[in-house]
Amino acid sequence: MVRRVVTAALTPRIIKAAEPFIRDTAAGLLGRVRAPGPADLVAAFTVPLPNRVTVHLLGLPPEDADQLAAWAKELMESTFPATNSTPRGEGFAAAFPEFAGYIDAHIDRAAAALGRDEGLHDEARHNDVLSRLLLVEDGGGRLDRRQVRALVRNLITGGLTTTSQLLGNLIDQVLSVPGLDGVVRSGPSGLDRAIEESLRLSPPVLFVPRGCVRDFEVGAATVRAGERVIVGTASANRDERRFSDGEAFDADRANSDAHLTFGHGPHLCPGAGLARAVARAGLAAFIDRFPPGGVRLVPGYEFENVPTFFECGPRRLPVLIDLS
């Protein structure tokens, strides 16, 4: 259900229409990074860009973006993703009352606006993702408030941090993999190849959990019906039977896009198109703003992962900028 609804709310047309906003926002954020000087590109760029795009698509006020990013970060780094609770309580509304209250207030606002226009079917007036979630029909009718609240929360948290990790990994790689800067500057195909290879080598979501419905054998192991399994995406994406020299970043790899980073089968990530669009526009803005050699990682930089146990992405990208 989630997948169908999100796919209906996030069509390629909506993503295409958001592209100018994504490009302008990326250029604006990078334009504010002071040059010459030191900067942290995670705080200045890779976190705020997907955040502002999500806020824009949901039709929420742009001035709330930082607050939403702070709530999303707090949630993703808390015990909530693993246990559905925090010391404040169990379930989203009890564990994060301010965040839940904020979403509810905007559901009320969007529902009231739709109610006023009922029957007008004016798509142009209600083409934000929140209004679409309220309008979408799921067999038995429209979604209830709890379902819409959970979907909006998932879009703000899941879609936001994962895309930040993708952008962070990409910039880290452009600044450290020999020759990659030239590849991404060679044109749109170079950008796309770098993005797919980054998704393969550094999957922002490290594993996918599954409940097993029947006994089966995998390798030397038997997995029984009812057991939970964790599918390790980063490991599968390095399978030597599929990817030769799987540990290496190779932008010329012919099958980079055969990765499992967005999952596989019926639950394949419905946000993949948006994530790729943000990565493409973000990286294009990055090479526009900084000429070759204009930005480099600080000497002695070492990758430190974000403190979310199932994600992979840099916690910081400390750089020195010198455009002279």
| Residues lying near ligand HEM in the complex (CB under 6 A) | 2-3, 6, 10, 154-155, 158-159, 162-163, 166, 203-205, 208, 261-264, 267, 269-271, 274-275
How far is residue 111's CA from residue 242's CA, in Å, rounded to a whole number?
49
Among residues 113 and 234, whose Cβ is nearest to ligand HEM? 234
Which segments within 106-235 are labelled E, that is strand? Answer: 207-211, 216-218, 221-223, 228-232
What's the gap between Cα 20 and its chain centre? 18
| Closest approach of ligand HEM to the CB of residue 303, in Å | 17
Amino acid in position 35: A
When the beta carbons of 2 and 248 are compared against ligand HEM, the nearer one is: 2
Helices (H) and strands (E) in the chain, counts: 14, 9
Tell me the residue number closest to ligand HEM, measured at CB.
271
Q: Is the dihedral of CA 100, 83, 156, 132 positive or negative?
A: negative
Whole-angstrom distance, CA of residue 204 vs CA of residue 53: 18
Q: Shortest Cβ distance from residue 115 to ligand HEM (Å)?
A: 26
For 306, residues 6+ apart whose C-beta sits below 8 A from its C-beta are 77, 161, 165, 312, 313, 314, 315
190 vs 271 by CB, closer to ligand HEM: 271
* C-alpha–C-alpha distance, residues 136 and 288, integer Å: 39
Considering the complex, state which of residue 264 and residue 296 has its C-beta at the smaller distance from ligand HEM: 264
Tell me whether residue 177 or residue 279 sits nearer to ligand HEM (CB atom).
279
Residue 103 Cβ vs ligand HEM, minimum distance, rounded to whole Å: 15
In this complex, which beta carbon is closest to ligand HEM, that of residue 89 or of residue 193? 193
Neighbours of 64 (CB within 10 A): 13
Q: How far is the CB of 53 from ligand HEM (least distance, A)?
A: 9
- CA dist 28 and 14 (Å) reads 21
